[in-house]
Each structure stands twice: as C-alpha cells, then as structure tokens.
Amino acid sequence: MSNKLPESSVLDVYSKNDVEVLSIDTLYQGYFSMMKYRFRHKLFAGGWSEPLEREMFERGHAAALLPYDPVEDKVVLVEQFRVGAMAADCTPWQLEIVAGIIEPNETPEDVVCREAVEEAGVEVTQLNKITRYLSSSGGCSETLDIFVGRVDSSKAHGIHGLIDEGEDIRVHVVSRQEAYQWVESGKIENAASIIALQWLQLNYLRLQAQAQ
C-alpha cells in the first residue's frame, strides 16, 4: 500500500478555515481554565476527519525577557519555585529569564518591561524581539513572545516578587558564557530561557555593537 499523497497536497496550505468547531464546553474555570473542543478538520489525503474531542488548557498568553548587559557581557536570571517542575521530578527551584502573563490592554513589550522591574529590579533601555512560539500546542493555547533587553547588570541583585502573588524570586547575574554553559549542561530546563540564551549566543556581537 502506497503512502504517497496526491501531488496537489504538496501545494495545499491549511488554515483555521479548514477546521469545523462543533462545540466548546467549559470543564473547569479558575485562575486558568480547561475547555473541551469537539471538531473535525480536513485531511491531507482529502475529505474530512471524523469528529474529534480534545481537552485544552487555557492560560492566556505570556511574554518573556532575557535581560542582557552588552557592556559587561552579562545576563540577569531569576530563580523561583515552580510547582510544575516539582511534579515533573525536575529541580523545583528553576533558573529562568523574566516572564509574565499578558493582561488585557497590555502589549508583550509592556509586560516584559514591567516584569523586569518586578522580578529583577532592572530597567530595560532597549528591546529586541527574538521570536514567538506555542508552548505546547497539543493541549495548550498559550503563546510566548520572547525578547532580549538591554539592562545595567550592576543594578540587578536581591530578592524580588509581589507578595500578594506569592512570589519569592532571587536574582542571579552571570556571564553570558556561564549562562550558556548552564543550557548545555541541562541546568536550565525551561524552553523560553533555553531559546533566549541560544539566540544570544548567536547574536551577542550585534547587541554589543548597538551599545557602542
């Protein structure tokens, strides 16, 4: 039996218009929500799928920032407890870049500049967009916008976070080289931080030239 697709399928570009949503039910509504989608979609070989059901974790969208000091060639990382890491048998206290949920009427740029102050005590003086990605598209609608932002690393220190949100965040200032070694060794385990530090390793000379 051949698995070769019709030649026309190579040129097909599917979009949201090729999905029929049959129903959306709320399974749980709290700080986050869980929805059940019932739908069908076009098939690569032609025709439509049978109706499918998928649970979808809805947590909004987020933005993340790698604070970078191009003069000192240092990055600012934060460390905080993460229940998901604990449940996954990873290190519960995760080393991460700054991040936050995008609230109504906020832009991703607004979020990362605000969170840089709240989580690390630093002001961002220049932003560069790295990318936007889906955190786990098989069962979650969240997207993350990732930036690198110029900061003065000498002002980054101490413990930060909003008490009313239960945040307890410790700041670390390390060289770019050491931070990238933490990526290679697996010490840094979350996707946004890995993506940002890999991007920085490829582009730091351009950021340093911008700072001159």
- CA triple 158-171-167, angle to 5 deg: 85
Q: Tell me how far apart the alpha carbons of residues 191 and 88 are, in angstroms, rounded to a whole number.
A: 14
Which segments in the chain show pLDDT lower than 70? Answer: 1-12
Q: Which CATH superfamily is domain 62-210 in?
A: Nucleoside Triphosphate Pyrophosphohydrolase (3.90.79.10)
Q: How do residues 154-176 score in pLDDT, each as one tens digit?
A: 999 999 988 887 889 999 999 99
C-alpha atoms less than 13 angstroms from C-alpha of 42 in its C-beta half-sphere: 12
Q: Where are the domains of the chain?
A: 7-58, 62-210
pLDDT of residue 4: 53
pLDDT of residue 165: 78
Active site residues: 165
pLDDT of residue 10: 54
Residue 47, number of CB atoms within 10 A of its CB = 7
Q: How do residues 31-45 score in pLDDT, each as one tens digit?
A: 889 999 999 999 999
pLDDT of residue 200: 98
Q: Tell me how far apart the alpha carbons of residues 17 and 12 are, in angstroms, rounded to a whole number.
A: 13
Q: Tell me how far apart the alpha carbons of residues 185 and 136 are, in angstroms, rounded to a whole number.
A: 23
Residue 113, number of CB atoms within 10 A of its CB = 21
pLDDT of residue 7: 52
DSSP code for 66: E
